[in-house]
Copies of this chain bind each other. A is one copy, B any other.
Amino acid sequence: MSATVLSGKEPAAAIRAETAARAAELAASGTHPRLAVVVATADESSAWYVRSIARAAEKAGIACDIVDLGSDASARDIRHRLAVLSADESVHGVILQTPLPEGAKLEDLASAIAPGKDVDGANPLSLGRLAAGLPAFAPATAEAVVTVLDYHGVELTGLHVAVIGRSTVVGKPAAHLLLDRNATVTVCHSRTRDLAAVTSAADVVVAAVGRAGLITAEHVRAGAVVVDVGTNPTDDGGLVGDVDAASVAEKAGALTPVPGGVGPVTTALLLRHTVQAAAR
């Protein structure tokens, strides 16, 4: 048995195409969608990711400003810049890139991003509104999990989904989105006892821990659907997920690849959110 590959490329392409069309309409009516990405790190993989967002944005007809504050920026500098961008009418979406300088906390700083421009759902108000069932931008990675499953026809109602990882940017918002889709959701983490027993009771496993190859065949029930959110850089410049694909693919029914799974959908959703913000 070998798992079906749940590619993210096709849904990402469809979202980018729809977004480009909407961006062109907005531009024709005088609104030029613009995204600002605030960076305060010298981290190489972060820089690579930000450039990939900028390229994708430009292809979709969205201007993208990379606002590099340097890795010695203070929390105060970052917060101030986020507030300035939030008040700038020509900017429709604002993202604060991680990692951040020592002592700066994403959840805290992101409260300076206006909720209407918070296209990566980083402001705690966005998370609270999401949890409360009110309109809000979800963190793009968390939304990408559900989007990939939708695209490949996984009907979530009544399924038991194990989310591994309880971060504010992925695990927790993904849990809320999955609950909204009527899945039964278990959130596991580093302190979970007998992780394999818990996750192999689930129909769907979402791995969002940030540790290469942590999830192996023993964590997955035969035929389960596995979504790999991990993007762990390898020494040779590549990217691997949290799932040990070689072993899991022999047991799971379906698996998202890394790269080419959740990642491209995440980027496409950031662009969609920016155009949605611009359309308001």
From A22-30, A53-61, A130-138, A225-233, the one touching the partner chain is A130-138
Contact for A191 among B108, B128, B158, B188, CB less than 8 A:
B158
Q: Binding site of A, secondary structure by majority: helix, strand, loop or mixed?
A: mixed
**Given A160-B198, A182-B191, 16 other A-B contacts at CB below 8 A?**
A107-B134, A124-B128, A124-B132, A125-B128, A131-B131, A131-B172, A132-B168, A158-B193, A160-B192, A160-B193, A175-B175, A182-B189, A184-B186, A184-B188, A184-B189, A185-B187
Number of identical protomers: 2
Contacts of A189 in B (CB 8 A): 179, 182, 184
Cβ–Cβ contact A131 & B193, under 8 A: no
CA gap between A198 and B161 in the complex, in Å: 12
CA gap between A44 and B108 in the complex, in Å: 41
A272 within 8 A of B: no
A201 within 8 A of B: yes
The interface bits of chain A over 124-158 (1 if a CB of B lies within 8 angstroms of the residue's CB, else 0) are 11111111111000000000000000000000011
